Amino acid sequence: MITLHDLAGADPDLRFSPYCWRTKFALAHKGLPVETVPWRFTDVDAIAFSGQGRVPVIQDNGKVVSDSWAIAEYLEDTANGPSLFGGSGGRAHARFINAWTDSVMVPGIATLIVRDLLDVVAEKDKPYFRQSREARFGRTLEEVQAGREQRVEAFRMALTPVRLALRAAPWLGGAEPSYADHIVAGTLMWARCTSAFPVIDPEGPIAAWLGRVLDLYGRLGRAAKTV
């Protein structure tokens, strides 16, 4: 069985990494069972075998793969089951979605929930989390998150490409869900699991689509623990 090192909070059942969620959706899409190992930011030694310091990391019969995009490609190229990309054009399309999500959605969501994240991370992770993120932003976590009620509209506007794509098809993958859906939905799982703040419009088309993604794979996303 595949093993996944999966970011957990103080509550070991709270699994909130936007990148690990992409991998969990991809594994479920392929129909692959997975054993998850809760991992905390300061558990550096626990994933040293992967030669880097971030999760997700999977182990599959001795093969170690880290980075959610590399894992998706590995699963597509080695595992049976429904395609994640739907061919080389779909792989290129998903690569763009991955780049857009990492450069627009992840930083945007971070400024809306980063102080809430501090409340859910493990006690032993809190000093590292605060120091590393404050160094990244050049401000305190409280300053970064302040004014989110006024700023959220600009973030929601930045999601216009997702809304327009979902006008033409039920999934970002088109007629069927693909890894493109896993990337964006996995990233929204980050906020869903850790914060009561509504980063997306709860009444809008993205929320309706996210609801459909949450119900896939035996309601995998729906069953996830939230704060």
Ligand X SMILES: N[C@@H](CCC(=O)N[C@@H](CS)C(=O)NCC(=O)O)C(=O)O
Nearer to ligand X, 68 or 111 (CB): 68
Least distance to ligand X from the beta carbon of 55, Å? 4
Evaluate whether 6 touches 17 at the Cβ level (below 8 Å). Answer: yes
**Alpha-carbon distance 4 to 32, whole Å?**
12
Evaluate whether 30 touches 84 at the Cβ level (below 8 Å). Answer: yes
Nearer to ligand X, 131 or 160 (CB): 131
Least distance to ligand X from the beta carbon of 5, Å? 9
Least distance to ligand X from the beta carbon of 222, Å? 21
Nearer to ligand X, 137 or 149 (CB): 137
Interacting residues toward ligand X by CB under 6 A: 7, 17-19, 41, 53-56, 67-69, 132
Q: Which residue is nearest to ligand X (CB)?
A: 54
Nearer to ligand X, 2 or 55 (CB): 55
**Alpha-carbon distance 82 to 43, whole Å?**
34
Least distance to ligand X from the beta carbon of 93, Å? 17
**Alpha-carbon distance 185 to 227, whole Å?**
18
DSSP string computed for 41-96: TT-GGGGGGGTSS-S-EEEETTEEEESHHHHHHHHHHH--SS-SSSSHHHHHHHHH
Nearer to ligand X, 7 or 188 (CB): 7
Q: How far is CA 68 from the centre of its chain?
A: 9
